[in-house]
Structure 1
Amino acid sequence: AACTPTPRPNPSPRHALRTPPRQSSSAHVSLVPNYGAASGGYFQTSIKVPHGHSGRHTTKMILHVPRGMLSVKPTKPAGWSVAMSTYDLAEEDRYESHGSLVTTGPDKITFTADSLDDALHNDHLLNIPLQLKLGCSFKDQVQDDYSGSNSVWQGQHTLWFKMEQFSSADEDLNHDKVSPWTGAQKDDAEGMSPSWNPPSASGVKACPYLIIYAGSRCSLDHSGTPVTGGMDWMNAYVKPAENMDAVLNEQHVITLATEAALDAQESLDGVYASGATLLTTTNTLKGHDSDIDALRARVAKLEGDNNTLNIAVAALALAAAALGVISLLCVFRVSNKKQFAYSISGLPIVTNLPTLSATKEIDLGKA
């Protein structure tokens, strides 16, 4: 099927932004928006990249462009280098642009931080605007091993933007940790849709996606008959959408529900991870029961020794108090003998004793 997208001026680019993370459990790469792109048309979106491995900086990202995408123009983040590799387009997918025949399409886009300071820190998100030009033919079917980049998923024609996110811990930018956001999904033969996030045993994570629809811009050869509009999906002609509002509303609802489901799953995974950590800690403690019992015995002994010490301190305090009382009595005895005697014996003390001469007179009188 020949493919001739209708050209259109490119929209003005937006800046790549580093922003604080949303107050959400979201921790996955996604396109924003990720629905509403028409075959043969242009579409502007941003790829949102969260932090990578905990305690590390994201220093490199490789974006695998899905087949059927004729052009991708990313906005270069400040402090990053951007390189793009291409592949040869099939003859029926080649197209004219500004009077020249375009024979290659975008394959991979590699983003590399120039230094650790320019890298994506754990506390931020990186939003990279992308200007897309969609083709009219999509034949890279997603397989059971998550390979491929085109599929019908949740009943929608979906393009998968696989990304590998690399993290570094030091200035060497060794990119030694990778998060594979490459789990492209597809509906099964019965039309059942798997969840966005593949099983953990698969070794891959939820892949960014874009839901598209058959637009009105393509010129196709359908079974030998030239047609305008629609798209070629796995060598089958898909007619252009008739009710655009209904199509966009359905796609919007699907993406909102999908995002909410993955957020909930990530929250539950976080709770499970916390529970698993607690269980591991508990089992570790159980393995040291004898050590814990010995520690408890030592604590009990220390508590007993502490009680003895408290009693000794109290006795010492009482002895000191008694010594203080005795010292005060001694001082009182020396300084005021009469008052001391009265205080000790409880006997009244004559304060006005007769003089010696008066005593003699009394004695003489008696005589």
Structure 2
Amino acid sequence: MFKSLIPAMAIVVAGATSALAHITLETKEAPVGSIYKAVFRVPHGCAGKPTVGIRVRIPEGVIAVKPQPKPGWTLAKVKGKYEKSYDYYGTPTNEGVKEISWTGGSLPDDEYDEFVARVYLAGDLKPGSMLYFPVVQECADGLTSRWIEIPEAGKKADDYETPAPGIKLLSKP
């Protein structure tokens, strides 16, 4: 009985490993016009090397970005103008954080960690659509993994080798 279970378990584990092989967001959907806690999950390094940096590009319509510091890592924010002005609780907002990076730490390939930012999903984002956060994972010895592929219409993230983490936008609460 156990001999027949081992191959089946190996297939399940292999499938789970490939599904978790890239950087993902913990919460897969969120309503527009609300606060969203973006938890970027990093399950491995690059080709066996430790992760030493994570850079996240903030998509248009995501404002009031507040990244969470991590002990042992240096946090940096790149600010700039938005393509348009957004309403943030009655205050027009036309500039803010466009990229976040955590660098200088070391996350071994065989360990897992999370990088977090609190953001506001503007009310004029389109419910029912996907919103992607491209991520560049920097590793020791100059290696990088670029999780930046955004699916074309009619395709899914699973159709790509290096998909950007994304969430499905829901209607306002």
The answer to whether residue 131 in structure 2 is matched with residue 159 in structure 1 is yes
Unaligned ranges ≥5, structure 1: 1-22, 139-149, 170-175, 188-192, 217-367
More relative contact order, 1 or 2 (CA 8 Å, 6+ apart): 2
Max radius of gyration: which structure? Answer: 1
The 3 A distance-change label for structure 1 pair 166 and 137 is: same
* Residues 256-313 of structure 1: CA deviation (Å, up to 9, x unaligned): xxxxxxxxxxxxxxxxxxxxxxxxxxxxxxxxxxxxxxxxxxxxxxxxxxxxxxxxxx
The code of the aligned residue for 1:30 comes to T
The code of the aligned residue for 2:52 comes to T
The answer to whether residue 173 in structure 2 is matched with residue 212 in structure 1 is no
What's the offset of the Cα at 1:70? Answer: 1.0
Q: Provide TM-score, normalisation by structure 1.
A: 0.39
What's the offset of the Cα at 1:52? Answer: 2.1
Q: Secondary structure at the match of 1:103?
A: strand
Partner of 1:82: 75
The 3 A distance-change label for structure 1 pair 54 and 91 is: closer
Contact 2:157 2:163 in 1 (8 A): yes
* Residues 56-97 of structure 1: CA deviation (Å, up to 9, x unaligned): 111111101111101222222210011111221345425467
What's the offset of the Cα at 1:167? Answer: 0.8
Q: How many residues align?
A: 157
Q: Is 57-66 or 46-55 further displaced after alignment?
A: 46-55
Partner of 2:10: none
The answer to whether residue 171 in structure 2 is matched with residue 184 in structure 1 is no
Which of 26, 36, 44 pairs up with 1:32?
A: 26
Which of 86, 101, 117 pairs up with 1:110?
A: 101
What's the offset of the Cα at 1:180? Answer: 0.8
The 3 A distance-change label for structure 1 pair 92 and 104 is: closer
* Residues 114-145 of structure 1: CA deviation (Å, up to 9, x unaligned): xxxx401011111123212111234xxxxxxx
Unaligned ranges ≥5, structure 2: 1-12
The code of the aligned residue for 1:109 comes to I
Contact 1:95 1:103 in 2 (8 A): no
Partner of 2:45: 52
The 3 A distance-change label for structure 1 pair 199 and 186 is: closer
Q: Secondary structure at the match of 2:139?
A: strand
The code of the aligned residue for 2:55 comes to I
Instruction: Please show how residues 162-177 of structure 1 align to structure 2 within 5 Å.
Output: 162-169=134-141, 176-177=142-143
Q: Secondary structure at the match of 1:185?
A: coil
The 3 A distance-change label for structure 1 pair 199 and 31 is: closer
Which of 107, 111, 133 pairs up with 1:124?
A: 111
Partner of 1:256: none
Structural RMSD (CA): 2.4
Instruction: Please show how residues 199-348 of structure 1 align to structure 2 within 5 Å.
Output: 199=160, 205-216=162-173
Partner of 2:155: 194
Q: Distance in 1 between matches of 2:92 and 2:160?
A: 43
Q: Secondary structure at the match of 1:197?
A: helix
Q: Distance in 2 between matches of 1:27 and 1:119?
A: 19
Q: Secondary structure at the match of 1:93?
A: strand
Contact 1:75 1:128 in 2 (8 A): yes
Q: Provide TM-score, normalisation by structure 2.
A: 0.79
Q: Percent identity?
A: 20
Contact 2:86 2:92 in 1 (8 A): no
Q: Distance in 2 between matches of 1:162 and 1:91?
A: 20
Q: Secondary structure at the match of 2:158?
A: coil
Decide which structure has greater helix share. 1
Q: Distance in 2 between matches of 1:160 and 1:88?
A: 19
